[in-house]
Structure 1
Amino acid sequence: MPFVKRDTMGRIVSLHGTADEASEQLSSDHPEVERFLAQSTHPAPDAYKRALAESDQDIARVTEDLIHLLVNKNLILFTDLPPVVQKKLLDRERLRSHLQQREDNFLDDSELL
């Protein structure tokens, strides 16, 4: 039987296995406990938005890699892409190259071997 902690409105905000942080104990099948658990297992709409944004970043990288693969296999020409797409891909490539150089050069310019 879990111990429950409530907010000032009387809603359950957390469940505990011991009475260290909460003194009220309810059965596991108590309707309030079941409702709290049901709400806890379904992410809030903001969590879905964050997951979708992270997925967008992943898809952008996949798309970029796919375009590079198609160009390298001569299945499409880079110049066949719309100019705005070419610019965005080149900008990303420059940024990634710059970042890679910074990671490869772990000594700052003032340090000598």
Structure 2
Amino acid sequence: MSSLGWQQVFELRKLVHGSRLLDRVELVVTSPLLRTMQTAVGVFGNEGEIYGSDVDSVIAPKNEISTLNNYPPIFASELCRDRLMESEEDDLWYPEAREPYEEIAARGIQFLNWS
């Protein structure tokens, strides 16, 4: 994640923690893209998990959700991707070859029925 991205994460973290919103969050679900997992851990994770930790060690493994240190569990799901991509760098992204919105909506419905 870029330095601007981390700055935005820490600003959002201050807002979430300052507003006591964190007290009402039961589960954080994120896309498996690295930058989205970093954002989820940065905003909702234990501060000790943010610095120098492997983000994958904080994200609950597939089909397993656990809570650590009174922070909400963070779960990565493929159904949360905005668009289906094959690379973290979005190197296969072309504006004329995008996933149709209907397919994104169908994944959204599938995600809402995941439990």
TM-score normalised according to structure 1 size: 0.26
Please identify which structure carries the higher helix content: 1
Give TM-score scaled by structure 2 length: 0.26
Structure 1 or 2, whichever has the larger Rg, is 1
Structure with the bigger percentage of strand? 1
Q: Which has the higher contact order (CA 8 A, sep 6+)?
A: 2
